[in-house]
């Protein structure tokens, strides 16, 4: 069971769960009535969709040669621990659970959720194909920022509150940074496999600076939201995560001196940054509601 769970890459789940939790916290801080049962349901469902997409992506990466004996990342298929058929059954099973759960939630909330959910599942299944065409960043910010935040808003409050999307930018950019760290690291092996990620097309130097932009801009964005009174000053709690963001950015920018080993796990470290940043945002919203 532990091996099956690890196959879903649970370290990456903050990318899908945090947009949901941040949206719930924002709605609660704004005084909207929150359906807590639907909130928990939506959180669990999106994690199942994410897990299914991770496994499906690993099948494509293995079959295309992106994942090989000398590459980083998930090792279960490369090392022969599981077969592609086992991974395929796992992905389809997780997607089936997510679809059934989503359809039940649609029946309880409304058809708007159906369109958002179908878009999320479609992007999840097409992710690797789009990533190989240098469009992975676009898919990630849609699937792990804009779609879950609008969907969660609708599910837990009965309406889409578009103002929450001001927060989709900082949350989404850090999530894109997870993918970007992975793709910058794997430029040579991706090129060997014949795929075209965005960092492969632009080069490692530009990719390193873009990663730094993705993890640091969210803090400037928060400043702008607070200055223009779009969000409460309590969101300054998120700046406690800034030293981690700066450390990650410096690690990436020093790739020439540190070598690939120095940033080999930067994708996981960026997921941890996402978790910290989003939890601190949630703390800020709680404090704004209480005080």
Nearest to 174, CA basis, from 220, 115, 108? 220
Handedness of CA 212, 69, 196, 171 (dihedral sign): negative
User: What does the alpha-carbon distance between residue 167 and residue 49 come to, in Å, rounded to a whole number?
Assistant: 22
As a residue count, the chain comes to 291
> What are 169's two structure tokens?
């930018």
Instruction: Check residue 124 and give its pLDDT.
Output: 73
The answer to whether the Cα torsion of 246, 221, 177, 25 is positive or negative is positive
Distance CA 154, CA 255 (A): 42
Q: Which two tokens stand for residue 273?
A: 């940054």
Burial class (CB in 10 A: 0-12, 13-18, 19+), 90: buried
Identify whether the C-beta of residue 279 lies closer than 8 Å to the C-beta of residue 24. Answer: no
pLDDT in the model for residue 70: 73
How far CA 291 is from CA of 61, 90, 108, 232, 236, in Å, comes to 49, 46, 34, 11, 14
Name the architecture of domain 2-290. Answer: Orthogonal Bundle (1.10)
Give CA–CA dist 288/291, Å, rounded: 5
Between the alpha carbon of residue 279 and those of residues 60, 224, 236, 264, the distances in Å are 32, 20, 12, 25
pLDDT of residue 121: 76
Sorted by where each begins, the domain ranges of the chain are 2-290
Helical spans, DSSP H, in the chain: 2-7, 14-29, 36-64, 84-109, 111-131, 136-141, 147-157, 168-185, 187-193, 198-202, 204-227, 242-253, 255-258, 266-290
The CA–CA distances, whole Å, from 151 to 37, 60, 120, 142, 253 equal 15, 28, 10, 12, 36
pLDDT tens per residue across all 291 residues of the chain: 888 999 999 999 999 999 999 999 999 999 999 999 999 999 999 999 999 989 988 998 888 888 877 777 677 888 888 999 999 999 999 999 999 999 999 999 999 999 998 888 788 778 888 888 889 899 999 989 999 999 999 999 999 999 999 999 999 999 999 999 999 999 988 898 888 899 999 999 999 999 999 999 999 999 999 999 999 999 999 999 999 999 999 999 998 888 888 888 999 999 999 999 999 999 999 999 999
């Amino acid at each position: 069971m532990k091996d099956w769970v690890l196959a879903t890459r649970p370290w990456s789940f903050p990318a899908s769960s945090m947009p949901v939790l941040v949206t719930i916290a924002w709605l609660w801080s704004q005084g909207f009535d929150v359906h807590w049962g639907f909130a928990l349901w939506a959180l669990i469902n999106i994690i199942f969709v994410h897990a299914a997409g991770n496994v499906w992506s690993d099948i494509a990466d293995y079959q295309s040669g992106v994942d090989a004996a000398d590459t980083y990342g998930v090792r279960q298929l490369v090392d022969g621990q599981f077969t592609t058929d086992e991974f395929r059954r796992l992905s389809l099973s997780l997607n089936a659970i997510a679809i059934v759960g989503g359809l039940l939630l649609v029946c309880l909330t409304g058809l708007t959720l159906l369109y958002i959910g179908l878009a999320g599942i479609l992007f999840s299944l097409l992710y690797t194909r789009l990533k190989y065409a240098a469009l992975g960043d676009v898919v990630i910010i849609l699937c792990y920022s804009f779609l879950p935040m609008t969907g969660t808003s609708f599910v837990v409050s009965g309406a889409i509150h578009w103002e929450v999307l001001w927060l989709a930018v900082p949350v989404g950019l850090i999530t894109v940074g997870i993918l970007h760290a992975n793709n910058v690291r794997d430029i040579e092996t991706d090129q060997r496999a014949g795929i075209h990620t965005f960092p492969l097309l632009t080069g490692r130097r530009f990719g390193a600076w873009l990663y730094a932009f993705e993890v640091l801009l969210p803090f400037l964005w928060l400043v702008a939201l607070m200055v223009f009174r779009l969000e409460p000053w309590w969101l300054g709690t998120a700046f406690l995560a800034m030293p981690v963001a700066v450390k990650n950015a410096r690690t990436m920018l020093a790739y020439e001196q540190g070598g690939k080993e120095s940033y080999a796990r930067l994708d996981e470290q960026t997921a941890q940054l996402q978790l910290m940043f989003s939890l601190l945002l949630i703390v800020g919203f709680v404090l704004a509601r209480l005080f």
